[in-house]
Structure 1
Amino acid sequence: ARGQIKVDQSPQVLILPEGANVSLQCKWSSAVNNLQWFKQNPGEGPVFLFFMASGMKQIGRFSSKMNSKDRLSSLHITGSQRGDSATYFCAV
């Protein structure tokens, strides 16, 4: 069986004004080939945002970077809006 991979996200809670830019980070404990980012609104299921294997992707105001060598991925939101208030998480 595969060992468990420990995943750390930061910051865990973030309060920011509308229009601000924000970055969330995800670090993991052992080598993985890809990672996914999700957004989850209260009382709803997770919504897929990005599948990352390397480099950078952008969809509208959302972008993500992946650095598998450093075991680090970031999710960046530009010009935050009220509807962006949600739980964001990465999965490896």
Structure 2
Amino acid sequence: METRHGASLVILCLHLAWVSCLQKVEQSPQSLKIQEGESTTINCSYTETTSQGLQWFRQDPGKGLTSLFYITSEEKRNGRLRAMISRKERHSSLRITGAQPEDSATYLCAVGAQ
């Protein structure tokens, strides 16, 4: 029975290839509140040195994840959102400029090893 459970975990990790089972990802701040019109930055640090890229997600209350960016180098922008990555420093950030009430959500980063 323990062997099957272990095999299931391996299968799960393979299906979620963008999330490494041995990866340590830290996001800060854990939560924040800002006023409408203000700007904020969410940081993501990771340990995997062989990572090819990082993905930022947004999750609205009661809904599934929505992909915002898959970033492999430098910077990407989409409206008021900007994602940056430094693979050398193993760090990424998501900047929200001019926050609006509709920006209220959970933001997550995920790193995959290739």
Query: TM-score interval w.r.t. the shorter chain?
Result: over 0.9
What does residue 46 of structure 1 align with?
65
Give the superposed CA RMSD: 1.3
Distance 1:25 1:53 in 2: 16
Find the partner of 1:30 among 42, 45, 48: 48
> Which stretch of the first structure deviates more once superposed, 36-45 or 2-11?
2-11
Distance 2:73 2:30 in 1: 24
Structure 2 alignment gaps of length 5 or more: 1-9, 11-19
Runs of 4+ in 1 over 4 A off after TM superposition: none
Higher strand share: 1
TM-score under structure 1 length normalisation: 0.96
Give per-residue Cα distances to partners, 1:4-59, cap 9 Å, x unaligned.
01000000100010000000000001211101000000100011100000110100
Higher helix share: 2
Distance 2:101 2:24 in 1: 31
Structure 1 alignment gaps of length 5 or more: none
What does residue 83 of structure 1 align with?
102
Distance 1:91 1:15 in 2: 22
Q: Please tell me whether residue 61 in structure 1 is matched to residue 60 in structure 2.
A: no
Greater radius of gyration (CA): 2
Identity %: 45
TM-score under structure 2 length normalisation: 0.78
- Aligned pair count reads 92
